[in-house]
């Protein structure tokens, strides 16, 4: 077997759909029917998951670290809000795409700054861009509503048919559809030759350049795409909550996103989704138990996760299921921790 | 690769278990009050005071009214409007609350307004002070105050007491703008002049550079509105820049000299004149008992936010008494209109037309009483309505 066919074989094997993946999405869909009273928090998780997937695209596949991903989220959120508020584009799906494109333009423009540096520079540059936009949004409060936020957004029915309801049912299935479609797209992209070239760049940019991969152009492309994803996540946020405030640009939002990926792991697309689920549920449980000091417990859990290591933690969690599988199926444990890095 | 997907499934199953774990339980003979307050972040002191006052009230009056048990469900929104909205939605849809209450800042109260309308349940605003709030939903009732009430009165007082030139420093959000506009309107109508106007950002403000500009403009006084909680920081920087020694007095709505922080502000704050709804030094027997009970329970002095929370929960109790325990939202809001009672702050009532609070506004000066700093009331304007609405 030649080296190239070997690579092709592995790439194809990875790109194939697995039962576990199908099961994952079925379970997510089932949640929508099992918990009709929890739509809001589930929608929140979906939005965060999409946003985390966006960061995963650049961090997990291209190795670009960012502490300012909220910049694109915010642009998407305000774009969707302004479009709906002023009745420019009333149909939510079109407005969603338009908002995503707005974030994409910003992503493309700022990508030139981001590709210039290495990790530390990138952290600073991305952080700076997000802070800049937050300050601008505060300064131009006549457009953005400043600290008071955009008030009085009224969302029109999706595709002119399905209205957003108070219980968040429409919002949930709308968000789920968007997330799934964008996930399929992301999945296609990361398993394409383009996606493979990104991994090569992540592993060693110099070597990647030496074998003829246009490093900068690839990085600009994926950064722009990630911005589009983040913009869509932001627009979903505005559309499902009918509110946009300065908080969309907040540093916490970018930092939370990193935590989500630390929990879930990077470089296999599901990391963001799983991390979002765990992160939000932890938050919800702790803030229900202690509305005042929940941040303490979240912090503690995160420190433990990082110190113990996700892999070891998973092995513990999976110990009992594996034991059961061994007993029932009589074979070696099939469930193990993912080998990806954070 | 295969293993990863298995992991995904496990995670999803875990998620279901997690969601099930936080699903709420149901009960029939309870009345649920969803309390949404900033318990973390910059406005946390507001949330803390209101929560304390409500707990105190329920200890004193018992937790049953008209045969129903009152249950408080507290949620933290960190004063961020979208969190408020999610919290309100969750409370209404999942916990089936009969009231939503609290709301530390105006954007938070506004964000919940459409939900109150849709769900037809009363929204009791216990802190936020912008005029427009009660107009956003027919289900909103307020037990705190509006900035128009105190700002116009301090403006009239300033004009009468020989203050001609004023510089203003206000937080750049809805209540700050209300305070500024109502003050300017009455102050300039009375012949005063605003020489310098500064708006500071709401989050993490640094007042020092603004204060330097103020000092250079040499006004007779500076009109200050910052949300309760930022007053201590403001006063510290005010003293550091030597504005107190330059003879520039501070006037404004009473948020800046909130009782919560007043005693630690130092002597620079002496002589500050504010117009406000409540002072811990209010000389009624009821207030003395309230302050004593609050101090005993929590070790600190109650501020105006605590009183607003205390009156807010009182209003909820009274409304339930009037409906005989009926929890229909429309009946409850009707029962709240026109309620009149004696509060630690003095006599107050709910305006049946605007659902806003009608109360006395006191002019107070910061003085030392028994070695502690207090806002000592020296003039009273009785039964002040919200001018933000009567103007229209």
Q: Is the pLDDT of residue A205 over 80?
A: yes
Q: Which of A288-292, B25-29, B145-149 has the lowest mean pLDDT?
A: B25-29
Q: Give DSSP secondary structure letters for B298-328.
A: HSS---HHHHHHHHHHHHHHHHHHHHTT---
Percent of chain B with pLDDT over 90: 42
* Residue to substitute from B81, B84, B92, B176, interface A, most A β-carbons within 10 A: B81
Q: Is the pLDDT of residue A159 over 90?
A: no
Hey, is the C-beta of B3 within 8 angstroms of any chain A C-beta? yes
Hey, is the C-beta of A237 within 8 angstroms of any chain B C-beta? yes
Q: How many CB atoms lie within 10 A of CB B69?
A: 13
Hey, is the C-beta of A148 within 8 angstroms of any chain B C-beta? yes
Distance from CA of B337 to the nearest CA of A (A): 26
> Can you tell me the distance from the alpha carbon of B37 to that of B157, in angstroms, rounded to the nearest whole number?
33
B338 with B313, same domain: the answer is yes
B306 with B218, same domain: the answer is no
By residue range, what is the domain housing residue B238?
147-276+361-390
Q: Is the pLDDT of residue A25 over 60?
A: yes
Of B161, B214, B163, B158, the residue nearest B186 (C-alpha): B158
Quick: pLDDT tens for A52-86: 999 999 999 998 999 999 999 999 999 999 999 99
pLDDT at B241: 85
Q: Determine, for residues A292 and B8 on separate chains, whether the beta-carbon distance falls below 8 Å.
A: no
B231 with B378, same domain: the answer is yes
pLDDT at B173: 83
pLDDT at B1: 42
> Can you tell me the distance from the alpha carbon of A108 to that of A130, in angstroms, rounded to the nearest whole number?
15
Quick: pLDDT tens for B315-345: 999 999 999 888 899 999 999 999 999 999 9
Ramachandran angles phi, psi of B98, nearest 5°: -95, -20
B264 with B376, same domain: the answer is yes
Q: Which of A3-17, B51-65, B76-90, B259-273 has the lowest mean pLDDT?
A: A3-17
In the structure, what pLDDT confidence band is assigned to residue B392 with cuts at 50, 70 and 90?
very low
Q: Which of B7-21, B174-188, B258-272 has the lowest mean pLDDT?
A: B7-21
Q: Which residue of B3, B14, B111 is in closest CB contact with A336?
A: B3
Interface predicted TM-score (ipTM) of this complex, two decimals: 0.73
Q: Determine, for residues B76 and A28 on separate chains, whether the beta-carbon distance falls below 8 Å.
A: no
Ramachandran angles phi, psi of B175, nearest 5°: -65, -40
CB within 8 A of B350, min separation 6: which ones?
Answer: B141, B143, B315, B336, B337, B338, B339, B340, B356, B357, B358
Provide mean pLDDT across the span A146-158. 81
Report B:78-107 residues touching A (Cβ under 8 A).
80-82, 85-86, 89-90, 92-94, 106-107
Q: Which residue of A13, A34, A340 is in closest CB contact with B16?
A: A34
Provide mean pLDDT across the span B195-211. 83
Q: Is the pLDDT of residue B152 over 70?
A: yes
With b for 16 or more beta-carbon neighbours within 10 A and e for fewer, the A253-282 pattern comes to bbebbbbbbbbbbbbbbbbbbbbbbbbbbb
Q: Is the pLDDT of residue B123 over 60?
A: yes
In a domain, B115, yes or no: yes
Pick from A237-241, B9-13, B245-249 the range whose average pLDDT is largest: A237-241
Of B153, B95, B88, the residue nearest B122 (C-alpha): B88
Q: In the predicted model, what is the mean pLDDT of chain A?
A: 86
Distance from CA of B79 to the nearest CA of A (A): 10
Q: Determine, for residues A21 and B74 on separate chains, whether the beta-carbon distance falls below 8 Å.
A: no
Q: Is the pLDDT of residue A337 over 70?
A: no
Helix (H, G, I), strand (E, B) or coil at A203: helix
Chain B partners within 8 Å of A19 (Cβ): 5
Provide mean pLDDT across the span B183-199. 90
B271 with B351, same domain: the answer is no
B309 with B165, same domain: the answer is no
Provide mean pLDDT across the span A107-133. 90
In a domain, B24, yes or no: no
pLDDT at A14: 76
In a domain, B191, yes or no: yes
Place of tokens 């993490």: B204
Quick: pLDDT tens for B9-40: 555 555 555 555 444 444 468 899 999 999 88
In a domain, B12, yes or no: no
In a domain, B16, yes or no: no
Q: Is the pLDDT of residue A264 over 50?
A: yes
Nearest CA in chain A to B76: A291
Nearest CA in chain A to B136: A152
What's B225's domain CATH number? Answer: 3.40.50.2300
In a domain, B10, yes or no: no
Hey, is the C-beta of B40 within 8 angstroms of any chain A C-beta? yes
B238 with B152, same domain: the answer is yes
> Can you tell me the distance from the alpha carbon of B276 to that of B146, in angstroms, rounded to the nearest whole number?
10
Distance from CA of A54 to the nearest CA of B (A): 18
pLDDT at B70: 92
B365 with B229, same domain: the answer is yes
The domain segmentation of chain A, as residue ranges, is 19-250
B188 with B130, same domain: the answer is no
Q: Which of A14-18, A124-128, A301-305, B75-79 has the lowest mean pLDDT?
A: A14-18
Provide mean pLDDT across the span A230-239. 94
Q: How many domains does chain B have?
A: 2
Percent of chain A with pLDDT over 70: 94
B200 with B231, same domain: the answer is yes
Q: Which of A136-150, A245-259, B97-111 has the lowest mean pLDDT?
A: A136-150
Contact B163, B191 (CB under 8 A): no
pLDDT at A216: 92
Q: In the predicted model, what is the mean pLDDT of chain B?
A: 86
Hey, is the C-beta of B174 within 8 angstroms of any chain A C-beta? yes
Token reading at A161? 């048919």
B255 with B176, same domain: the answer is yes
């Amino acid at each position: 077997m030649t080296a190239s066919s070997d690579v092709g074989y592995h790439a194809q094997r990875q790109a194939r759909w697995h039962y576990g993946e199908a099961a994952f999405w079925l379970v997510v869909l089932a949640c929508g029917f099992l918990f009709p009273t929890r739509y809001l928090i589930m929608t929140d998780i979906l939005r965060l998951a999409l946003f985390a997937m966006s960061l995963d695209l650049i961090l997990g596949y291209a190795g670009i670290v960012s502490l300012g991903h909220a910049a694109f989220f915010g642009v998407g959120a305000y774009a969707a809000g302004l479009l709906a508020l002023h009745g420019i584009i009333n149909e939510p799906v079109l407005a969603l795409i338009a908002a995503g494109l707005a974030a994409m333009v910003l992503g493309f423009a700022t990508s030139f700054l981001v590709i210039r540096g290495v990790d530390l520079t990138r952290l600073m540059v991305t952080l700076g861009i997000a802070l800049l936009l937050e300050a601008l949004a505060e300064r131009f409060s006549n457009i953005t509503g400043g600290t008071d936020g955009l008030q009085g957004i009224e969302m029109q029915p999706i595709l002119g048919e399905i209205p957003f309801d108070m219980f968040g049912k429409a919002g949930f299935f709308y968000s789920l559809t968007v997330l799934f479609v964008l996930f399929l797209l992301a999945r296609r992209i990361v398993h394409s030759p383009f996606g493979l070239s990104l991994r090569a760049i992540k592993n060693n940019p110099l070597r990647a350049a030496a074998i003829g991969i246009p490093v900068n152009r690839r990085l600009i492309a994926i950064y722009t795409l990630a911005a589009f994803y983040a913009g869509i996540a932001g627009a979903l946020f505005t559309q499902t909550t009918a509110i946009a405030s300065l908080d969309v640009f907040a540093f916490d939002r970018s930092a939370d996103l990193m935590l989500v990926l630390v929990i879930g792991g990077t470089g296999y697309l599901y990391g963001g989704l799983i991390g979002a689920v765990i992160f939000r549920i932890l938050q919800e449980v702790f803030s229900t138990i202690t509305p005042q000091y929940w941040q303490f417990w979240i912090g503690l859990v995160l420190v433990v996760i990082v110190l113990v290591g996700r892999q070891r933690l998973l092995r513990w969690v999976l110990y009992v299921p594996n034991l059961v599988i061994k007993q029932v199926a009589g074979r070696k444990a099939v469930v193990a921790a993912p080998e990806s890095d954070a | 690769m295969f293993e990863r997907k298995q992991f995904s499934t496990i995670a999803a199953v875990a998620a279901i278990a997690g969601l099930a774990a936080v699903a709420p339980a149901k009960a029939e003979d309870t009345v649920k009050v969803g309390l949404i307050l900033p318990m973390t972040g910059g406005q946390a002191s507001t949330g803390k005071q209101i929560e304390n006052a409500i707990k105190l009230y329920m200890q004193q009056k018992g937790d049953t009214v008209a045969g129903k048990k009152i249950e408080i469900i507290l949620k933290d929104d960190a004063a961020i409007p979208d969190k408020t909205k999610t919290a309100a939605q969750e409370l209404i849809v999942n916990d089936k609350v009969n009231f939503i209450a609290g709301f530390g800042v105006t954007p938070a109260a506004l964000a919940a307004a459409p939900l109150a309308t849709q769900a037809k349940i009363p929204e009791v605003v216990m802190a936020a002070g912008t005029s427009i709030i009660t107009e956003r939903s027919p289900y909103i009732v307020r037990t705190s105050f509006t900035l128009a009430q105190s700002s116009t009165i301090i403006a009239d007082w300033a004009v009468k007491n020989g203050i001609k030139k004023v510089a203003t420093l206000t937080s750049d959000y809805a209540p700050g703008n209300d305070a500024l506009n109502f003050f300017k309107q009455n102050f300039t109508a009375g012949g005063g002049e605003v020489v310098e106007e500064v708006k500071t950002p709401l989050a993490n403000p640094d007042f020092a550079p603004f204060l330097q500009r103020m000092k250079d403009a040499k006004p007779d006084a500076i009109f200050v509105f910052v949300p309760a909680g930022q007053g201590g920081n403001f006063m510290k920087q005010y003293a550091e820049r030597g504005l107190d020694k330059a003879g520039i007095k501070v006037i404004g709505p009473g948020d800046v000299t909130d009782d919560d922080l007043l005693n630690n502000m130092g002597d620079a704050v002496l002589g500050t004149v504010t117009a406000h709804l409540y002072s811990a030094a209010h000389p009624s027997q009821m207030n003395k008992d309230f302050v004593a009970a609050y101090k005993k329970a929590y070790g600190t002095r109650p501020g105006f936010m605590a009183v607003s929370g205390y009156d807010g929960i009182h209003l909820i109790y009274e409304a339930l008494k009037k409906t005989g325990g009926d929890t229909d939202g429309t009946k409850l809001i009707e029962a709240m209109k026109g309620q009149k009672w004696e509060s630690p702050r003095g006599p107050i009532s709910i305006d049946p037309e605007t659902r806003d609070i009608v109360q006395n506004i006191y002019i107070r000066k910061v003085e030392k009483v028994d070695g502690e700093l207090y806002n000592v009331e020296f003039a009273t304007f009785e039964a002040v309505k919200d001018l933000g609405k009567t103007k229209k």
